[in-house]
Amino acid sequence: MLYYKEELAAMYRKTVLDNGIRVITERMPGVRSLTIGLMLDVGSKDETAENNGVAHCIEHMLFKGTSSRDAATLGRMIDMAGGQLGAFTARDYTCLYAAVLDDYRTFALDIFGDILLHSQFEADALRREQSAIFQELDAGEEQPGKLAQELLKQAAWPGHALGRNIYGNRASVSSLTRETVLDFFGKNYGADRLIISAAGNLDHEDFAAQVNDALWALPSARQVARPTVGPDFQGSVTVRARESAHVYFALGAPAPVYTGPDRYATYVLNAILGAGMSSRLYRRMRDEAGWVYEIGSNYHPYGQAGLFLVEGFTTPENLLPVMEATVAELIQLLSEPVTAEELWRAKEYLRGEILIGAEASNTRMSQLATQELYFGRFLPLEELVEGVRSISAEQIQALAAEMFQPGRLAISTVGAVQGMVNLESDLGEIIGL
């Protein structure tokens, strides 16, 4: 095992450039590909209610033209790389990424350097992107499962940036101007908030030098004071009627933050309750009762808060039985310790996820960046596996008692609820409101 540690440490390298950019790499012998990620410590958590959606809008605008390349030229260059290049915005961060052959790494870094240093954010392009974002918002309204989750976060974290839609809303997106976009960009998209991670076939020193060549001129972010207080979780019931044969639901509970000491216990608890076909919720609701076609749970950790979510869909007549049985499964964890077999099975499930995922360069790139963002250091695979293996049944029970408290749960539903006149009060009673 010592050899394994030394070998892994030799593959991981970190360099901090003069302007503050952190460059992190992991060499993966035997591959010709390379996945590069630029993780910026800025997301919807940094927005106000008035400019909600600006980070997502900027992510779009970065590919719409620089001082030397228009959008069409950038598009052709991206296609020419023969791999994948894209971006996404999350609540805690924005990520630009490229998966290319190793001999295209300079090409990809040149594109990234150009769009971060020389994007024009032209007014006409902004208007076009606003129109495209309106279509994204409409598409989200047409996805009842996704909408149920968004409604739950809004109700559980009212008035806080983490509770708002990453895409914003029609009013906030409509109000964005070139000036407000440039101001937000200058305040937040700086070298001191940029982590560049790469995994695959590369030499660290060469890669760090190429990053420096591409981005040495990127200045620091101008905004110093940032929101640091997490939201208070509010128990709530949200019901949205929609023409459908089903009702989509989300049930949420407060959970540890990303770096919380109970994070490993939360992952194990999630695996026991709702990850996979052998989980408690799937067996109870799908295999035994036949009430649902799909149900599962997920842990959503952020820097300032965490959320445990149970999601799925069912028929209108089965909604209340499903919700009652789901809450009963949560409450059962408070009084009955999980069995040794369940605990072992959950740990093996997570061990497989960790080790199998590490064989893909895109997963390794993402892990390197998020570990640096949240922990400021590298977490070896062995540490992750041992963190999961160390969890006891008593820890699961104590965590459940902290998370699953009556009055501290939230439910949202989207779908065929038109004839259920007492639904809000019935759901409120189920979760102790």
pLDDT score recorded for residue 9: 53
Domain topology for 236-430: Cytochrome Bc1 Complex; Chain A, domain 1 (3.30.830)
Structure tokens at 116: 């971060």
pLDDT tens digits for 29-45?
888 889 999 999 999 99
**DSSP of 172-210:** HHHT--HHHHHHHHHHH--GGGEEEEEEES--HHHHHHH
Per-residue pLDDT of the chain (433 residues; tens, 9 = 90+): 333 344 445 588 999 999 999 999 999 888 888 999 999 999 999 999 999 999 999 999 999 989 888 888 887 877 776 678 889 999 999 999 999 888 888 989 999 999 999 999 999 999 999 999 999 999 988 899 999 999 999 999 999 999 999 999 999 999 999 999 999 999 999 999 999 999 999 999 999 999 999 999 999 988 777 877 889 999 999 999 998 889 999 999 999 999 999 999 999 999 999 998 889 999 999 999 999 999 999 999 999 999 999 999 999 999 999 999 999 999 999 999 999 999 999 999 999 999 998 888 899 999 999 999 999 999 999 999 999 999 999 999 999 999 999 899 999 999 998 888 899 999 999 999 8
- The answer to whether the CB of 11 falls within 8 A of the CB of 65 is no
How far, in whole angstroms, is CA 90 from its chain's centroid? 6
pTM (2 decimals)? Answer: 0.93
Per-domain residue ranges of the chain: 10-215, 236-430
DSSP 8-state secondary structure symbol assigned to residue 65 = B
DSSP 8-state secondary structure symbol assigned to residue 324 = H
Tally of residues, the chain: 433
Amino acid at 94: T
Task: Classify 37 as helix, strand or coil.
Answer: strand
pLDDT score recorded for residue 2: 32
Q: Whole-angstrom Cα distance, residue 65 to residue 72? A: 8
Angstrom CA distances, 194 to 180, 208, 222, stand at 21, 13, 13
The strand pair at 292-301 and 94-101 is best described as unpaired
How far, in whole angstroms, is CA 375 from its chain's centroid? 16
Please tell me the chain's helix, strand, coil percentages from 3-state DSSP, rounded to the nearest 5: 50, 20, 30
pLDDT tens digits for 133-172?
999 999 988 899 999 999 999 999 999 999 999 999 999 9
How far, in whole angstroms, is CA 142 from its chain's centroid? 21
Q: Whole-angstrom Cα distance, residue 319 to residue 249? A: 8
Q: Whole-angstrom Cα distance, residue 28 to residue 295? A: 36
- The answer to whether the CB of 432 falls within 8 A of the CB of 409 is yes
Helix axes 54-61, 178-188, angle to 10 degrees: 90
pLDDT score recorded for residue 359: 87
The answer to whether domain 10-215 and domain 236-430 are alike in fold is yes
CATH number of 10-215: 3.30.830.10
Listed residue (288, 307, 43, 335) closest to 184, CA to CA: 43
